[in-house]
Amino acid sequence: MKTAYYDSQFGKIQMKYEKDTLLLLKAGVNVTEINEPSPFTDYIYRQICEYLNGERKVFDVKYKFNGTDFQERVWHILENIPYGEVMTYGEVARKIGSPKAVRAVGSACGKNQLWLIVPCHRVIGIKGSLTGYAGGIEMKEKLLRIERFGKTHNM
């Protein structure tokens, strides 16, 4: 597994990958390993820049989940929340057939290791509140604003 780092408006972006498969994508990290960018990570970074500039709605990236069966069921639902739309934690819980697992859905969202690609920022509280986001509420709000208004944000 290799690691690459890129600059963004949300701090350093970290990518862990093997060949042409993304294993982890995080923002706001500290550089802790050797930077090993590749044409594959450059390609992902270009897509992230396009997304943050309001120019891209769908990512074209091969990736692999690494979680429990429950977490992966949640993440598969998140993959299918359309750009610019949101879903509540309760709606996600119902979609996976576990309507009482709202807190567990929140926990699974918090363990999502594929920032932006698997859009956990599109999951909100029942009354529209922007609750619980690993990158912080400010980041969640900015991402939803990009999707809603297509605002340009420079990397």
**Dist. CA 84–CA 143, nearest whole Å:** 9
pLDDT for position 49: 96
Could you say which of 77, 105, 114, 120 is catalytic? Answer: 120
Active site residue 49: no
Neighbour tally for 131: CB within 10 Å:
16
Element housing 75 (H / E): helix 69-79
pLDDT for position 152: 44
Output phi, psi for 67, to 5 deg: -155, -175
Q: Which residues of the chain have pLDDT under 70?
A: 150-155
pLDDT for position 134: 77
Taken in order 120, 122, 128, 133, is the CA torsion positive or negative? positive
Whats the size of the chain, residue-wise?
Answer: 155
pLDDT for position 151: 53
How far, in Å, are 3, 6, 35, 59, 155 from residue 82 at the CA level?
A: 29, 26, 33, 12, 23
pLDDT for position 22: 98
